[in-house]
Structure 1
């Protein structure tokens, strides 16, 4: 169940913590940064940190926790990693085994949390400039696709780039590139536009994650690197244990989107 009127990161976190919010967070807490999560055992954290460093477009790091800590004080004063997202995914040996609304019962003292920038931040800038964001207009989760673009490997972490897609008219696509290039900590400029088959996407109506959106006459698909990429990489690595956010269900922080923009 989604909730209206959640205008701050704290309000979204508290709604998720109480169980009042269980759906996607797109459009909630306007003005506040939202984050993807990857939560791994400390034994795998160094390699994953290197993976993020080598792949900053899909994995722009906002913060990293100490082992076992359920707080990220840089992102919010009242914040509990184990309870404050609407939905999580729990992975064992590369297989999805649970999609709970909190992961307190799965928590371990060796877990390290990686908070990764999310495209919801630059969507606010697109809307402020008068560009429509189709999945928000249609009340859907952004469509996400696995591509044939390989990420730079690090240790056991390797796999395909996952992208989000938003359709625009060509002139608006140029403007969207200009706007999002100012937000490198939340995926930045697109990685591809038009010709989805060139990056291994056969059918825009069948996303691997999220929901399909309408593409109107005269529009072209524009693709940004996506923070769901770590899920594909973690699954491919077949880690004994890991936790991620459920697609579209982000950690709402107390950081302001405006502070992420470069000049």
Structure 2
């Protein structure tokens, strides 16, 4: 199994472009949001008011691309497989590096990612369908409103993992231990109850098979800031959904009793 250093090197060199679910077991993964420092406090307040979709793991100093708490050997301008660039709320580009977008006033936020607790689910005998089907996790915009802060507002985005009903109960117990990476599910069962019209057509990521006897289980998702960018016509740079930053934070250090 490859270690973090070798995977980061592949990402930085552009030879790794796949989603990061299931790679580097034992280490936490993170969503990225890059904003100008003029709106960084408002976003930090947005995260504080919406800790389920936006749990903060690290914030950089303006202009500094090294996350001191989540990977001192990393450069957030190059060490994520794919980035999304939003300008006035429109997704205008997907790129492998963001050096040419970075400025002395850029501030990066790393938010906890649900890929982190998938290892614990697997250890409890719960299969991860998007890994089985070799695709990205399905993600959906919902009718669950986030709490606004300054320029930031919009719907919560959720990720979905199908499983047997008994496994869903266990999944609640397992993931509740990890509040810094979204914690327990926000919804189990009927997708329409949270505004999802078609479970086979995710807004981000890929559709996965929902087998007979299974229920969809939904977790708050760190793609929520991208929905806020679209809703409020904001400039923002993020990870491409499913293509996360690999931190050097051990999974178990994020677990609580």
- Where on the TM-score scale, by shorter chain, does this alignment land: which range? over 0.9
C-alpha deviation, 1:36, in angstroms: 0.1
Select which of 143, 147, 151 maps to 2:138: 143
Asked if the contact 2:139–2:202 (Cα under 8 Å) also holds between the matched residues in 1, the reply is yes
| Alignment TM-score, normalising by the size of structure 1 | 0.96
Runs of 4+ in 1 over 3 A off after TM superposition: none
Q: Structure 1: how far apart are the matches of 2:103 and 2:212?
A: 50
Counterpart in the other structure of 1:247: 241
Counterpart in the other structure of 1:164: 159
Asked if the contact 1:87–1:102 (Cα under 8 Å) also holds between the matched residues in 2, the reply is yes
Q: Structure 2: how far apart are the matches of 1:75 and 1:14?
A: 17
Is it true that 1:194 corresponds to 2:186 in the alignment? no
Is it true that 1:235 corresponds to 2:242 in the alignment? no
Q: Structure 2: how far apart are the matches of 1:11 and 1:126?
A: 26
C-alpha deviation, 1:236, in angstroms: 1.6
Counterpart in the other structure of 2:89: 94
C-alpha deviation, 1:7, in angstroms: 3.4
Q: Structure 2: how far apart are the matches of 1:128 and 1:146?
A: 29
Supply the RMSD in Å over aligned alpha carbons.
0.9
Select which of 127, 151, 168 maps to 1:132: 127
1:33-44 residue pairs with structure 2 within 5 A? Answer: 33-44=28-39
Asked if the contact 2:58–2:68 (Cα under 8 Å) also holds between the matched residues in 1, the reply is no
C-alpha deviation, 1:242, in angstroms: 1.5
Asked if the contact 1:118–1:187 (Cα under 8 Å) also holds between the matched residues in 2, the reply is yes
Asked if the contact 2:37–2:105 (Cα under 8 Å) also holds between the matched residues in 1, the reply is yes
| Alignment TM-score, normalising by the size of structure 2 | 0.98
Q: Structure 1: how far apart are the matches of 2:2 and 2:84?
A: 23
What SS is found at the alignment partner of 1:198?
A: helix
Deviations 1:28-73 (A, max 9, x none): 1111111000000001101100000000000000000000101002
Q: Structure 2: how far apart are the matches of 1:133 and 1:7?
A: 22
Structure 1, gaps ≥5 residues long:
none
Select which of 100, 122, 137 maps to 2:117: 122
Is it true that 1:182 corresponds to 2:182 in the alignment? no
Asked if the contact 1:146–1:160 (Cα under 8 Å) also holds between the matched residues in 2, the reply is yes
What SS is found at the alignment partner of 2:95?
A: coil
Number of equivalences? 257
Q: Structure 2: how far apart are the matches of 1:69 and 1:110?
A: 9
Structure 2, gaps ≥5 residues long:
none
Deviations 1:210-257 (A, max 9, x none): 001111110011100000001101222212x32000001000011110
Q: Structure 2: how far apart are the matches of 1:12 and 1:224?
A: 27
What SS is found at the alignment partner of 1:157?
A: coil
Q: Structure 1: how far apart are the matches of 2:67 and 2:3?
A: 20
Counterpart in the other structure of 1:222: 217
Is it true that 1:7 corresponds to 2:8 in the alignment? no
Is it true that 1:256 corresponds to 2:256 in the alignment? no
Q: Structure 2: how far apart are the matches of 1:135 and 1:95?
A: 27
